[in-house]
Amino acid sequence: MLSFQKKSIEDNYIRGYFNHISEVRETPIEKLDPFRNSINQHIHQKTQDEIFNWAEKQSYIVLANLMYAAAIENIDSCPMEGFRQDVIEEILSVNPETEKVTVTLALGYRSEEDPFQHLKKVRKPNEKLFKFI
């Protein structure tokens, strides 16, 4: 699985998003205007870099959910960032002008001979990782 993201959000893209909601929820498109206006305002006051950083973070939400879903199905996964972006983009015919591959996720089943699977998991303790309020 590869997550590739758009480098900018055009009006047409937002229109498509709202048409989709309207269709799936069988809601008149005008009823979504307040939501659409708020999204439009939010997007238009951001720079291209801010949009790109936001979109990149969004892909990690998908990634986390996919990893959890795979784990529930006993499918192993390995998230990877250290890849040759240019090679992957060429294989997938991604247009680098408008899209970028952010992260990759290998999904499958571990080899029985993989010695790493028996190592203890190294995890920060909850107190260091989270702030409970």
Ligand X SMILES: Cc1cc2nc3c(=O)[nH]c(=O)nc-3n(C[C@H](O)[C@H](O)[C@H](O)COP(=O)(O)O)c2cc1C
- Spatial separation of the C-alpha atoms in residues 69 and 62, rounded to whole Å: 10
Choices 44-52, 55-63, 78-86, 88-96; region in contact with ligand X by CB under 6 A = 78-86
Tell me whether residue 29 or residue 71 sits nearer to ligand X (CB atom): 71
Closest of 75, 65, 63 to residue 1, by C-alpha: 63
Q: Does 70 bind ligand X (CB under 6 A)?
A: no
Nearest distance, CB of residue 4 and ligand X, angstroms: 16
Binding residue for ligand X, selected from 120, 121, 128, 131, defined by CB under 6 A: 121
Sequence-ordered strand ranges (E) for 1-132: 2-6, 76-80, 99-108
Contact indicator for 6, 56 with CB cutoff of 8 Å: no
3-class SS of residue 87: helix
Nearest distance, CB of residue 101 and ligand X, angstroms: 13
- Spatial separation of the C-alpha atoms in residues 53 and 65, rounded to whole Å: 19
Tell me whether residue 78 or residue 87 sits nearer to ligand X (CB atom): 78
Contact indicator for 101, 58 with CB cutoff of 8 Å: no
- Spatial separation of the C-alpha atoms in residues 121 and 101, rounded to whole Å: 28
Q: Does 82 bind ligand X (CB under 6 A)?
A: yes
Nearest distance, CB of residue 118 and ligand X, angstroms: 11
Q: Does 78 bind ligand X (CB under 6 A)?
A: yes
Q: Does 1 bind ligand X (CB under 6 A)?
A: no
The site for ligand X (CB under 6 A) is made up of 78-82, 121
